[in-house]
Structure 1
Amino acid sequence: MRTLYRQIATCIACLGFAAPSVAETVGSMTAYQTDIIRNDREAMNVGAAVELGDQLRSNITGLGMLVFRDESSAKIGPNTSLTIDEFVYDPGSRSGKIDIRMNSGLARFYGGQVSKGGDMQVATPHMVLGARGGIIEVLVIAGQTVGILRAGRMTCMLNGRKLVITNPGHACTSDNGNLLTGYGGIDAFPILDSIDRIAGTGMPGEPGPGLNVSAICASALGNSLKACKSTDGALPGVAMEFPDSSTPPVGSGVDDEDDDCFPDCR
């Protein structure tokens, strides 16, 4: 009888150790305008938890916003796929690490506590972007990545080279393994602002106007971007418009040393 009890206890213990661990909640979805899908199966709603390892995808008119536990946040634009690879946050020291993998689309990242005292990075197939406070926008399209600084400080890393950008509106991009810089525009992607009108409602809104890359194509980086060289003025699934506008100022060049600052560091 005692042997039977031992066997039952052993089986219970084994089941306990075999039980899967509960995924860590790192934030929540606070707004969406059109479809945001988690892990290719679940439509996200306002208040839905975002967990470590989650992959979030948006459709052609997808817009959504998620907020992390350290008060960092991300606005997800159309045709976007991103994965939360790492999230570590110590509220006491306000330090930690956030690693987000972004394979396609457009997103705007707002730095929170981690970006001020720790490490917040967005890795794409072409380069790695770091945020130090402030706001950065990331576009992954046509085999290239563009990072634009809107506020704070942005670090661009590619093939062992690191470039620090401090002036809002300036950008970096990847081009055949090279790191290029130039002016990208203060409000290059207004589609990301449209969700502000319905933030927190969770109600589907009117489809967005499509991804307008005219500001980028008219910028100093335009000649280096494949997305600006389409023969018919549009890419599959991407609406490209070219309204009349003045040419933005051209940024200066940088040398090949590590830890370059563009245009300057303060």
Structure 2
Amino acid sequence: MGIEQSTAKWLAPASFAYNFAVQQYALNSTPSMKQVNDANTSFWSPQPYFIGGFFAPQQIVQLAWLYRVWKLDANSPKERAEILSYVPYYVLGNICIGSWAFFWNAEKLQISNLFVVVNSLSQLYFIFTKLGPMNTSSTSSILTHINAKTFAGIGVLDFLHNLSVAYYKDALPSTAIKAVTGAGFAGLAACSDWIFGGCLVYDLVALSVGQATLNNPDWSKMLGGFAVMTAGIVGLRNYFIPPYVKEPGYNLAEDDDTFDDRV
């Protein structure tokens, strides 16, 4: 899935503007995004303000990354390859989440869930199969990794939240749900760097606080325990297997179009 810079420099900002505008509409319409959230809860419902708290700084990162898309250097093929490889997934994500808001506010939750599934799975696919290790000597590489991994990280929370309210409204967690939650986060943590791993911990804290608000104290405490477990796994994984590289010669000659594709 490739794209030219001439297309990317317009398409990526346009998708950002679409998603941002629709989110503002959904927040301020009647019923609002939060009103729909409060009327539809389940065992994977987070505290909604955690999503808003994530959204604001994420927009700043996206704007910084979009600036790099515009300013790509023709003499930096690795930089171009890494940034442009993410643009199609970034555009798809913005379109999906922007479109999700229309159906969410209309309380057509099963339809809105489809957009979340596409976004979440595509973002996870990209960071685990297409994105090479982050080069700490490159601002563009750092921004691409933060942008992609925060998109995927909040996508995990979106996936759980929307799935539960679309099909299991007002349900309490079964033993199977508890086991799947713990095993799923442990599995993701075992192959996560600090950025995505930090997002997973944030997701679990959001779920824990949300369930406490819904008067599910035992489930809330278990989710808090999963957050500690996930943080421990991420820490150990990254201590023993450092996830990043440092390549001062990132801006290579124009005829060198190699790209490190390690997972």
TM-score by length of 2: 0.28
TM-score by length of 1: 0.28
From the CA coordinates, give the structure whose radius of gyration is larger. 1
Which structure has more RCO (C-alpha within 8 Å, separation ≥ 6)? Answer: 2
**Which structure's residues are more often strand, by fraction?**
1
